[in-house]
Structure 1
Amino acid sequence: RLLGRRHARVVHGPVQLTMAAALTKSEVETYLATVDLRGPLEGALNAAISAQAKAPIEFFGAYFAAGGKAAGPSTALTKKDVETYLGSVDVRGPLEAALNAAVSFQTKEPMEFFTRHFAKLSQPAQSGLSAPAAAPTGPQLVDVSSLTQIAKDYLGLLPQPEKPTYRTALVQIYVRSAPYGGSDKSSNGHRYDMVPFANGMINAGISCQPIHYVHEEHDTFFEVVKNFDALIVRCNPGQIKADGGS
């Protein structure tokens, strides 16, 4: 179980691992058998629940930077308290993205890796890494310039294949009235799992362009996306309505 002893009576699923790009199932299983990733992540989840953290990314950044220690007192919670919290704040999304990133990089130092990972999410402009501000373009890609660019950057996204087998898009919804665009988003406007999904496609020789659906551009959006071979829709239920659409 993902939750530790303190919340043992609350039934929740484990952090889910999406197959890391360019790794076989056997390679992933071998790696997970030698490096404990779930322990630190489960500790972070329990700490966030106890603290009722409203900003998971910042909380996890501070948690791992402190060596796996949460700032402030923990709270004794009932099963209903935990379920209510998990229903209102997405804490699993960022942890699952961190798990997949760690597997992809085959890190041997999980705590150090997670510290850097969440620091980058919290402050992408200060991470010291290249974070292209413009959406990926090129003659091999679909022209999406008529759509509003919501994302602040594309940190971590691999270069698109020069001759893609297929052309795909990963569609996201940014809720403008919500902090960061929704509890499933990083501070750059993308979902936490955008990079693992898109890079998995890219490593398979398939282009994958992250885009956002904006309801005011409905007709334009569907004119653009008909040029893709496939769409990967990654949004939480109700996000279009929450952003003012229908």
Structure 2
Amino acid sequence: MSGRLDGKVAVITGAGSGIGRASAELFAREGAKVVCVDVSGEQEETAAGIGAAAVPVHADVRVAADVRDAVATAERRFGRLDVLFNNAGIGGPKRPITEQSEEDYARVLDVNLKSVFLGMKFGIAAMLRTGGGSVINTASAAGLVGWRKNALYGASKGGVVQMTKATALDFAEQGVRVNALCPGMTWTGLVPGAADAPLPPADASAPPQPMRRWGLPTELAAAALFLACDESSFVTGVALPVDGGYVCG
């Protein structure tokens, strides 16, 4: 199948690398116009690789004005917003909560959870102006089960799951679907060394998930595409694990 996003306009945060970049590229191949949002500067490279169907936006997803402007860019350049992929996030320090600081807490919760609040606040308002759309929020397997030394990260991603479910109920009758993507251990820049290797090297240790391999950004992008397109038109409020069986293992 192809053209699953023909005529649609998407905003993707964290589009400079990893799952965000893979999703921007896939969405564009499936016919979408894509606003590539990141704070790193790498959104420029993502958009350039896609071509005329993409526009880069530098934005800090913790800042309301930046998120509002990213949504406004979609409406100004392409006339509407149909898909919002709140994907930007960080891992944060991995240590027991007794060794975390208030600054650690604020940064992890702001980047991972406040950003989703802001994205939905402005993105759903835009979708309602044109009859609806699809919101995808990147949560994590860590938002469904506990991970040692990841209390802050897990809290932020658990918050994404619950914010997703409540918002899905709020807008179910207005044509806006809201779902969460819950990756397992995926080969992205959050993994030490992954930024320098697009695929896991042969000697990379297998993560503790039943498939005994790393997930790939392209596999998460494929799941995001399903949630973005009309094939999932009766799906809302779901926290979809894409984790090699981790949460059921």
TM-score by length of 1: 0.29
Structure having the higher Rg: 1
TM-score by length of 2: 0.28
- Structure with a larger share of its residues in strand: 2
